[in-house]
Chain A
Amino acid sequence: MNLQKMMDLPGALAAFTYSDKGDLQSHVLREGTELTPQVLDLLARSCVANLAIAGMEARGWEAVTGQGGFQPLKGFSMVGLEWSVVVDGNRGVVVKNRDADYEATFNALQAA
């Protein structure tokens, strides 16, 4: 899925891709948004870290509890006051909370 298609997701304010280390590689920003490439770069880095932590927790949880259904992880989202960032793999979308369709966003990122 290219960035422009990701921007068609409900409430999308920005779409971006990043390297395994979290370096911002490409991005599209909705006109008028207060987000900046610098913030997207920071978001990408935090999301790489959060996905890694969530992966560790999922593995640990499954091992300790015997419950399944977590691994492999299909994404992570941080829900802010006005917008959420949703990431999976090396792609992410920032969506307005009011219009966000989290399921569609996770599914779109997975399919990309």
Chain B
Amino acid sequence: MHIVKQLMAIPGVVAAGEYAYRGDRFSYEGALTDEFARMASILCRANTLSVNMQSEIFDSFAENIGCRPVQGWIVRGSQITICAVGNYFAFIENRDELLNDVMTIMRAKVGDVQDDLLVNLYARLGGDTKEALY
């Protein structure tokens, strides 16, 4: 299942999308207009580039400390949280366990965690990971 569809199947995910690293293309699903999705893509791309730059600075202080390559970032709002991993983003409500589920799926699908069996299993299940497991 495509990651955006998989994320949107989880109750509490407001919107999810994918953007090109070049910054000129994007796709999304959920409660955003085209213009807002374009803005969200630019915002996520800028922040992702910024944290990647910062990780290179960390690396110059201490090599191989487990920071690079950066997988993504999270901004926790009062009621909404933005998660970005790789070139995908998700706007989610602050509900119990939702952030952990979304990050597990996004990291498994996009991040460098192929060796983690449980995480990959989560990713293949799709939808509400807790409900599927138990």
Residues 31-57 of A at the B interface (beta carbon under 8 Å): 34-36, 38-39, 42-43, 46, 50, 53-54, 57
B97's contact among A39, A77, A103, by CB below 8 Å, is which?
A103
7 contacts across the A-B interface (CB closer than 8 A): A53-B47, A53-B50, A79-B111, A81-B68, A81-B71, A83-B66, A103-B96
- Interface stretch, picked from B19-27, B54-62, B120-128, is B54-62
Overall SS of chain B's interface: mixed
- 6 new A-B contacts, CB < 8 A, other than A65-B39, A76-B73, A79-B73, are A34-B62, A73-B76, A73-B78, A77-B74, A80-B68, A103-B98
B residues contacting A by CB (< 8 A) are: 36, 39, 43, 47, 50-51, 54-55, 57-58, 61-62, 64-80, 85, 94, 96-100, 103, 107, 111-113, 116
User: Considering the chains assembled together, what is the distance between the CA atoms of A58 and B80 in angstroms?
Assistant: 10
Overall SS of chain A's interface: mixed
Interface code A99-111, partner B: CB below 8 Å = 1, 0 otherwise? 0111100100000
